[in-house]
Structure 1
Amino acid sequence: MNSAIRVLGVDNILFAVANLDDAIEFYADRLGLPLVFRLDEPGIALFKLGPEAPGLLLRRGTVASPAPSTAARLWLEVPDAREAAETLRTRGVEPLSDPFSVATGWIVEVADAAGNIIGFTDYTANPSLGRTAGH
């Protein structure tokens, strides 16, 4: 029985964080993601990720910070990753490295205090594949 699971799309992305207040400050104030809601009792906060329904759900809990080279990643599409890197630096967020090029464009990555990696990627080298091309 080799039947594929029919995936309809991404529901939410969940990251564990040790300190919800610090994480909200990082994601809202430094990365500029819109906070949808915060619930202190269960220790969760949800951020909007662009115009699509899925969001980033932060959950207070135990975190194990792997090395950045092996950590799971969430990449967000932006119009210009190199511009995003400069904006992040002005907000006090130092990228893990300078933006680097890939076949579709550029990527810059940052990490939160729990070691979760967030990448900002663009499709400047292949715009027909990006969201601005209607995909």
Structure 2
Amino acid sequence: MNSNQLNFAYKVRHALNENLDNLPPSAAEKLASARKIALSRKKKESRLRVFVPQRFFAGQTGHFFSEPLSWLTRMGLAVPLVVLVIGLSSIFRYEQQRHINDTADIDAEVLADELPLSAYLDHGFNAYLAKRGE
């Protein structure tokens, strides 16, 4: 039952209890028979027990190997994190090495070409070098 249904049931019960003495006998008999029918339809209590694994949240105590296969779930969380860190560090190192290689290529081209000294003083040439170095 949700809270609205439960509140309605309490209100009906309270109203019936207040006016119990004023009810006609036919209404009292109908209510009694409705109660018997409702009690007959009530589900019987089951002795069947079901195992439900309990999850631990922050602040609760528990041991690392207290649950079956708990180490597998911990590895299931740790392995993707380790792979992510290794992947990001590999990407960083690759980009760093690519930047070093690009800078070395530009330096080799500049040193291999015969350029006049005025080319090194030109602001456009410096912008070209800066753009190629990124």
What is the TM-score when the length of structure 2 is the normalising length? 0.16
- Bigger Rg, which one: 2
Greater helix proportion: 2
Structure with bigger RCO (C-alpha 8 Å, 6+ apart): 1
Greater strand proportion: 1
What is the TM-score when the length of structure 1 is the normalising length? 0.16
